[in-house]
Copies of this chain bind each other. A is one copy, B any other.
Amino acid sequence: MSGWIAVDWGTTTLRATRMDGARAGETRESGDGMNGLSPEAFEPRLLDLAGDWIDGPTEIVVCGMAGARQGWAEAPYRAVPCPPVAAPLTVARSADPRLSVRIVPGLSQRAPHPDVMRGEETQIAGILREVPEFDGVACLPGTHAKWAHVSAGEVVSFRTAMTGEIFGLLSRSSVLRHSLGGNDWQEAAFLEAVSDALARPEALSARLFEIRAADLLEEQDPAIGRSRLSGLLIGAELAATKPWWLGRDVIVTGAPALSQAYAAALRSVGLAPRILSAAEMTLAGLKTAKDLP
Contact = CB atoms under 8 A, between A and B. Distances in A.
Number of copies: 2
Nearest to A116: B213
A98 interface: no
B170 A209 contact: no
A52 interface: no
A108 B165 CA distance: 31
Nearest to A206: B240
A184 interface: no
A149 to B, nearest CB: 14
A203 B240 contact: yes
A202 to B, nearest CB: 4
Interface string A142-162: 001000000000000001111
Interface string A98-119: 0000000000111001111000
A83 interface: no
Interface in A204-256: 204-210, 212-214, 216-218, 233, 236-237, 239-242
B169 A209 contact: no
A198 B85 CA distance: 37
B165 A115 contact: no
A163 interface: yes
A222 to B, nearest CB: 15
Contact of A162 (B110, B208, B237): B208
Given A161-B209, A165-B175, A205-B233, 11 more contacts: A108-B213, A114-B214, A114-B216, A162-B176, A162-B208, A166-B174, A166-B208, A201-B204, A202-B236, A205-B236, A205-B237
